[in-house]
Amino acid sequence: DTAVSQTPKYLVTQMGNDKSIKCEQNLGHDTMYWYKQDSKKFLKIMFSYNNKELIINETVPNRFSPKSPDKAHLNLHINSLELGDSAVYFCASSFRPGQGGEKLFFGSGTQLSVL
Amino acid sequence: GIQVEQSPPDLILQEGANSTLRCNFSDSVNNLQWFHQNPWGQLINLFYIPSGTKQNGRLSATTVATERYSLLYISSSQTTDSGVYFCAGAYNFNKFYFGSGTKLNVKP
């Protein structure tokens, strides 16, 4: 199936640990994103990559480091996890503006719980 | 950044009823989309609608770009329409700003 897939779906970990979330899309898109959804359901962009180049880098602690090995993959590594990092993290993809078809497609989310 | 205001924040409907959700933007956007987050948390893209009107089954959306607002119409609502509806807008580089959502509960 064509989709944006991210793993794992659930991540429960202790404070101070390091964890990674992986994302892959097979829609042929050239732009990928990480969004954070807080407990009040508010969605905020964290990062965006276009063809492996970082184009959006919001005010996010430097404990969060995205990595894009190719345009179909975007991973998120989080160091020294804190309680406040608990949230749902969504990966998404689209075409870059001007190319048409800029619809944003989301993965199913990773619910991160830091204990 | 762009402020996105959605109304109403909460909506309860009886199955079969119609409703209109509204989204206002503080600044111009050239990419506007509507999403449905179902009770299982999945975000589904409903419309890409920077201007004009589109229809998809019982759903339709209208964006008046010059007045910086968009409307989502749900007709003959069904229980499967329940969830949270988000609008999002971007101006260049697909840096989307999301509204806080309208939580819809359709009762049988």
β-sheet bridge partners, residue B62: B53, B71
Widest CA span in chain A: 43
Q: What angle do CA A27, B45, B8 make, to 5 degrees?
A: 160
Nearest CA in chain B to A108: B42
Task: Answer yes or no: is pLDDT of A1 > 90.
Answer: no
B85 to chain A: nearest residue by CA? A41
Q: What is the mean pLDDT of residues B32-49?
A: 95
Nearest chain B residue to A50 by CA distance is: B93
Q: What percent of chain B has pLDDT over 70?
A: 98
Chain A contacts of B48, Cβ < 8 Å?
A: 101-103
Q: What is the pLDDT of residue A51?
A: 85
Grouping H, G, I as helix, E, B as strand and the rest as coil, residue B105 is: strand
A102–B94: do the CB atoms touch at under 8 Å?
yes
pLDDT tens digits, B67-98:
999 999 999 999 999 999 999 998 876 789 99
In this predicted model, which residue has the larger pLDDT, A101 or A6?
A6
B35 touches chain A (CB under 8 A): yes
How many angstroms away from the CA of B72 is the closest CA of chain A?
Answer: 17
Chain A interface, mutation test: which of B28, B94, B95, B98, most A Cβ atoms within 10 Å? Answer: B94
The per-residue pLDDT for range A18-52, each reduced to its tens digit, is: 999 999 999 999 999 999 999 999 999 999 998 88
Locate the DSSP E strands across chain B: 4-7, 10-14, 19-25, 31-37, 43-48, 52-56, 59-64, 69-74, 83-90, 97-98, 102-107
> Tens digits of per-residue pLDDT, A77-113?
999 999 999 999 999 999 876 665 688 999 999 999 9
Q: 3-state SS of chain A? A: CCCEEEECCEEEECCCCCEEEEEEECCCCCEEEEEEECCCCCEEEEEEEECCEEEEECCCCCCEEEEEEECCEEEEEECCCCHHHCEEEEEEEECCCCCCCCCCEECCCEEEEEC
CB B70 within 8 A of CB B49: yes
Contacts of B92 in chain A (CB under 8 A): 97
Nearest to A8 by CA among A104, A114, A88: A88
Q: What is the pLDDT of residue A101?
A: 60
Q: What is the DSSP letter of B1?
A: -
Nearest to A93 by CA among A17, A28, A14: A28
